[in-house]
Amino acid sequence: MGYGVSLGKYQVGKTIGEGTFAKVKVASNTETGESVAVKILDKKMVLENKLMQQVKREISAMKLLNHPNIVRIYEVIATKSKIYIVMEYVSGGQLSDKMSYPSIVSEKEARKYFQQLIDAVDCCHSRGIYHRDLKPENLLIDSMGNLKVSDFGLSVLRKPGDMLSTACGSPSYVAPEVIFHNKYDGAAADIWSCGVILFELLSGFLPFEDKNTSNLYKKISGAEFICPEWFSASQRKLISRLLEPKPRRRAKVAEILEDGWFRIDYEPAAAITNEEKANLEDVYRTFDRIGTLKTEETRKIQSPSFINAFQLIAMSNHLDLSGLFEEQKTKLGSRHSMTETIEKIEVAAKDASLSVERTNSSKVKLHAPQKLTRSISQIIVSAEVIEVTPTHCMIEISRSSSTGEIRSYKEFCRSLSSILK
């Protein structure tokens, strides 16, 4: 395989995939000889669509997902015009390639793929991550015949708030509540997609098909599908639980793991022990550099009014916070409502002998006592609380560069970190 363009320690070769915003090339690590995949994003398009923060945090979260059935991201590199995401290279192609020849996919093989898919989805959901675009094209097969989930929102980049865009790209795999409601449970929606994939694996065709999109959505909303005559009773029972149109009655991952047909020859994903801590320095360094570009595009970018579970995990869980307090900015995750989180900020401020000024419902400013300053009370800390879910928030804390008072800042951060645990 020939390689041409050099990208740091990587020699980049031929294109193996292409989408609206991204192109994927195979590359070789010149230090190890390992093959990797490099996803290339056009920086201008990302900036114009105000997707920089979302891409940054989703990449960060993927680096934290260490599971044998999920494609790993190794590092991120940026040039003047491109963003390069270096990830695990999966050589066996897409699951959809195998499904083009249904006679090749035996029941045993279909079950193994489904078991590995559920293991990967279970890992994601346990961390509050919902894929929202599970389909055979986003499921890769490695050289050992094992399934790996890929493309967590990067193949088709979405603007903040475009929660339902999946329905436009892959309508046959989308749960009814995603089509017809503004809000939906991401976990239940993923399980529906898994059900469609299992049906297709076992039958060789989709459970819901119609050239007319309106008719297709009617079939999906009513779960109007017919199992082939060769489906066993146990297969029919499981699929009916997965393709349940009411999300609250749909099978949960824990129930799938106990299903009799599912458990045949089931080998759970090997537990990852002594997991290496994900190094996110390259992600933050790369995107912070991009954020300082003095271009019209970057000046137009605004922080999204919400963050998703990807962003919360990237900012809190599994991160080494040992060097947290040497930074001018700190980000903490809170498993409390916005009101409760604000109250905990006020408690931490009191511990640090700082007074609190609420600027609005989500932002506060902390002032140093006047006896510590020569003039009026200085702003030591600014804190903004961003709601992820009703019971999960992310706190962005920054220290004013106009003051040299860092002791109170450190004390506040330590106190709040302890209170939030």
Residues taking part in catalysis: 133
Encoding tokens for residue 21? 């915003």
- Close Cβ partners of 18 (under 8 Å, ≥ 6 residues apart): 24
- Close Cβ partners of 122 (under 8 Å, ≥ 6 residues apart): 253, 257
- Close Cβ partners of 273 (under 8 Å, ≥ 6 residues apart): none
Q: Which residue has the tokens 């990587």?
A: 10
**82 assigned binding-site residue:** no
Q: What is the distance between the alpha carbons of residues 393 and 307, in angstroms, rounded to a whole number?
A: 9
Residue 132: name the closest of 223, 74, 193, 87 by CA.
193
Q: Provide the 8-state DSSP code for 71.
A: -
Buried b (16+ CB within 10 A) or exposed e, 149-161: bbbbbbbbbbebe
Q: Which helix (H) or strand (E) holds 115?
A: helix 107-126
Q: Which helix (H) or strand (E) holds 374?
A: none
Diameter of the chain measured on Cα atoms: 84
Residue 332 CB neighbour total at 10 angstroms: 23
**Strand ranges across the sheet with 329-334:** 329-334, 392-399, 379-389, 363-367, 355-358
Q: What is the distance between the alpha carbons of residues 58 and 54, in angstroms, rounded to a whole number?
A: 6
φ, ψ (nearest 5 deg) of residue 56:
-55, -50
Q: What is the distance between the alpha carbons of residues 398 and 408, in angstroms, rounded to a whole number?
A: 12
Q: What is the distance between the alpha carbons of residues 260 and 200, in angstroms, rounded to a whole number?
A: 20
Q: What is the distance between the alpha carbons of residues 33 and 4, in angstroms, rounded to a whole number?
A: 15
Residues 57/315, Cβ–Cβ less than 8 Å: yes
Q: What is the distance between the alpha carbons of residues 339 and 147, in angstroms, rounded to a whole number?
A: 42
- Close Cβ partners of 411 (under 8 Å, ≥ 6 residues apart): 351, 352, 353
Q: What is the distance between the alpha carbons of residues 56 and 283, in angstroms, rounded to a whole number?
A: 7
Annotated binding residues for ATP: 39
Annotated binding residues: 39
